[in-house]
Amino acid sequence: MARPRKEQELDIPRRAVEETIRLLAQQGDFGVPLTAVAQAVGCTAPALYGHFRNKNALLRAARDEGFGRLYNEKFAVFEQMRGDPFGYLRDGSYAYARFALENPTLYRLMFSPPPKLGVSDDPWSSEAGRQVLSLLLTGLRSSQEHGYLPGADLQRYGFMFWSTIHGAVSLNIQNRLLDHAAKWDSTQSVIDALMEMIAATGPAKHPITS
């Protein structure tokens, strides 16, 4: 058996990424054997080398796919929330956190990749992350136009905003003493506190204390 017949042809690149993400979640670790991916796809390990330079390239592809999925989820919320930038900031953050907590290993691959992935060597790899950030900045800019964060340096606040949520999500993912619900509550509490602070700067529609 060598080259497969047309009927059995399978879209290895796409399926490999898909299965890698699935195995990443299943094993909770980046150390997924290429052999396991190949088996899940239905080919042998060397066959993957026809589509990816090496294992790192496959993980990079999975990472990019992760950014794509995260962007899509955030973008869906964005579309749904047109006209309510404050609501977008809140629900977009929830969506972000939910994605992270539901795909912890993929999230770790996206934001704490092992340096050997050579992520920074590839100009495309940070591009997806930048898109996610730009979505946040758009939300902040709109919020500012609606009276929130008057006079604030959005670049600066945007990074702080992202840092807070990324930090909360990371710490909660890492803390294995908490179950899923507890992680979510803890993360949501941080997001809510953040939103309260922003609300406090706004046109006084949202009261500071409940």
Partner DNA sequence: CCAAGAACTGAATGACATTCAGTTTGAGGC
Partner DNA sequence: GCCTCAAACTGAATGTCATTCAGTTCTTGG
**156 interacts with DNA by CB under 7 A:** no
CA gap 43, 9 in Å, rounded: 10
**9 interacts with DNA by CB under 7 A:** yes
Which residue shows structure tokens 């920074």? 120
Which two three-digit tokens encode residue 7? 């009927």
Residue 30's Cβ-count burial label (10 Å; 0-12, 13-18, 19+) is middle
CA gap 86, 69 in Å, rounded: 23
| In the complex, minimum distance from the CB of residue 53 to DNA, in angstroms, rounded to a whole number | 7
CA gap 15, 61 in Å, rounded: 11
Near DNA in 44-63, by CB under 7 A: 44-47, 49-51, 54-56
Consecutive H or E run containing 79? helix 55-80
Near its own copies in 167-206, by CB under 8 A: 167-168, 170-171, 174-177, 186, 189-190, 193-194, 197
**135 interacts with DNA by CB under 7 A:** no
Q: Which residues bind DNA (CB under 7 A)?
A: 1-7, 9-10, 12, 31-35, 43-47, 49-51, 54-56
Q: Which residues bind its own copies (CB under 8 A)?
A: 28-31, 105, 108, 111-116, 119-120, 126, 156-157, 159-160, 162-168, 170-171, 174-177, 186, 189-190, 193-194, 197
